[in-house]
């Protein structure tokens, strides 16, 4: 697997600025590109636990902050080769930092994995069923390896 460059319009929003210097736009761009299967128009937004919980409650009916939320706007549509995937990917700084600590990972490697995970969701990948989950997790492992990070699912 090699890194391919796809047409990407990426906006990064640091509503929660705690990781703005540590997780740069250049890093995010590289991680997104590694997971892209075609052109995309994406926003990555870093939020605190309060905003993360509000979004998760409002749009998923789950009243807690989660690590990553993906809002795919053209999910289920037949996209032509030049039609971009459109999505917002929300990363909750509080959850990201806590999980990285609990999993004994750096914030950078955990954030890279969550970005890759979110970008795959934006492109229609899911993990609701075992077979889908195995395929998505293997794809994530492959992408993380290309990016030079360890297997995100190893203990």
Binding annotation for Zn(2+): 117, 121, 127
Question: How far is the CA of 53 from the CAs of 41, 44, 94, in angstroms?
Answer: 25, 17, 11
* Burial class (CB within 10 angstroms; exposed 0-12, middle 13-18, buried 19+) of 142: middle
The DSSP result for 56-71, as a single string, is HHHHHS--S--SEEEE
Percent helix, strand, coil in the chain, to 5, is 45, 20, 35
* Rounded-to-integer distance, Cα 87 and Cα 118, Å: 9
Residue 15 per-residue DSSP state? S
Segment (H or E) for 129: none
> How many whole angstroms separate alpha carbon 73 and alpha carbon 50?
23
Q: Enumerate the known binding-site residues.
A: 117, 121, 127
């Amino acid at each position: 697997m090699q890194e391919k460059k796809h047409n990407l319009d990426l906006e990064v929003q640091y509503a929660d600025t705690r990781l703005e210097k540590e997780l740069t736009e250049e890093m995010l761009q590289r991680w997104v590109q590694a997971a892209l299967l075609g052109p995309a128009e994406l926003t990555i937004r870093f939020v605190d636990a309060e905003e993360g919980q509000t979004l998760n409650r409002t749009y998923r009916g789950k009243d807690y902050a989660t690590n990553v939320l993906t809002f795919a706007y053209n999910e289920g549509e037949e996209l032509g080769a030049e039609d971009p995937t459109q999505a917002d990917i929300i990363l909750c700084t509080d959850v990201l930092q806590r999980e990285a600590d609990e999993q004994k990972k750096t914030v950078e490697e955990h954030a890279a994995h969550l970005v890759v995970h979110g970008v795959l969701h934006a492109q229609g990948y899911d993990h609701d069923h075992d077979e889908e989950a195995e395929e998505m997790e293997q794809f994530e492992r492959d992408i993380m390896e290309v990016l030079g990070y360890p297997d995100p699912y190893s203990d």
